[in-house]
Amino acid sequence: AQSVTQLDSQVPVFEEAPVELRCNYSSSVSVYLFWYVQYPNQGLQLLLKYLSGSTLVESINGFEAEFNKSQTSFHLRKPSVHISDTAEYFCAVTLSSGNTPLVFGKGTRLSVIA
């Protein structure tokens, strides 16, 4: 079975500062990795995903995540955050074979302070 650990439940950061949201996973088989974002009272939106190839993946709004197989990590980073980045961020994994359910971490609440 797969599992995901998000080490920080809450991360406060000042506007324009860098941020890293940590994610570690456990799986005995090959997985795909995802970061989803949830704004207040909304559903989950895909932020970025790692399937294969380059270990560094980027989103259109400046976030990036790096897959590290040896450390079984998929940390999310942004060099300069905006107020609008305030949201809950979920790391998730799914098996790379077939359409299988996502296993989510507990989430990290990012609060950007003006």
Q: Check if the beta carbon of residue 25 is closer than 8 Å to that of residue 74.
A: yes
Distance CA 73, CA 43 (A): 25
Exactly one of 21, 74, 90, 108 binds other proteins (CB under 8 A); that residue is 90
Between strands 10-14 and 108-113, the pairing is: parallel
74 contributes a contact to other proteins by CB under 8 A: no
11 contributes a contact to other proteins by CB under 8 A: no
25 contributes a contact to other proteins by CB under 8 A: no
Range in contact with other proteins (rule: CB under 8 A) among 39-47, 55-63, 65-73, 76-84: 39-47
Distance CA 99, CA 54 (A): 22
Size of site (CB under 8 A) for other proteins: 24
Q: Which two tokens stand for residue 83?
A: 């107020």
Identity (one letter) of the amino acid at 108?
Answer: T
Residues of this chain that bind other proteins (CB under 8 A): 32, 34, 36, 42-46, 49, 51, 90, 94-96, 98-107
